[in-house]
Amino acid sequence: MTRAIRLRRAFVAMLILTAITAALPFSQASASTTEESTYSYVSRTICPIDWREGRWHVKQLIRCTAAHWNVDADRALAIAKRESGFQPTAFNGWSCAKGIFQHLCRYWPDRALDYGFRDYSAYNARANIIVTMKMVKRYGWSPWSS
């Protein structure tokens, strides 16, 4: 009789543990999605400049986003010129850095997700520039200091 009781207790404990384990990731995911959508959403009407038309347009996009997030536009332009020459397809094979502001490959996916550009490429100049401006607004230019 005691063996049957132990088996039932073990079964109930396993069910409770399974229920708790199944519930935790869902609640964390829904909380982060809510948090992410309130902070990181970037409206398409913010600086709607088509960066694909050339370097001049990339520079205009940098100026516009810098003004929107109250970041020094001249410094942003100087760093973008140094990092990529305003080329959205710039790539550094030695460090694996991509795009206008040369985000490192290993950091880009998390940064893009955190700042509202989930699954965007670092070669998308709009995503690269806006992510950079939001990062600079939050942390300053230290990742790009020489």
Range of the domain at 127: 51-144
User: Does the residue 46 lie in any domain?
Assistant: no
pLDDT at 88: 96
Give yes or no: residues 62 and 37 share one domain: no
CATH number for 107: 1.10.530.10
User: Does the residue 106 lie in any domain?
Assistant: yes
44-101 residue pLDDT tens: 788 999 999 999 999 999 999 999 999 999 999 999 999 999 999 999 999 999 999 9
HSE value, Cβ hemisphere, 13 Å, CA-based, for 124 = 12
Long-range contacts, 73-78 (Cβ 8 Å, 24+) = 75/141, 76/132, 76/133, 76/136
Give yes or no: residues 12 and 32 share one domain: yes
Give, rounded to a whole angstrom, the gap between the first and last alpha carbons of the chain: 74
Give yes or no: residues 129 and 65 share one domain: yes
Give yes or no: residues 73 and 33 share one domain: no
- Total count of domains within the chain: 2
Give yes or no: residues 69 and 131 share one domain: yes
1-58 residue pLDDT tens: 677 777 777 777 776 766 666 655 443 443 444 344 444 667 778 899 999 999 999 9
Query: Which residues sit opposite 91 in a β-bridge?
Result: 98
Query: Which residues sit opposite 97 in a β-bridge?
Result: 92, 104
Give yes or no: residues 83 and 17 share one domain: no
Cα 49 from chain centroid? 20
Do the Cβ atoms of 65 and 47 come closer than 8 Å?
yes
pTM over 0.95: no
Give yes or no: residues 61 and 24 share one domain: no
123-143 residue pLDDT tens: 999 999 999 999 999 999 988
Give yes or no: residues 9 and 66 share one domain: no
Give yes or no: residues 109 and 81 share one domain: yes
Give yes or no: residues 33 and 93 share one domain: no
pLDDT at 20: 65
Give yes or no: residues 5 and 27 share one domain: yes
Give yes or no: residues 126 and 56 share one domain: yes
pLDDT at 27: 38
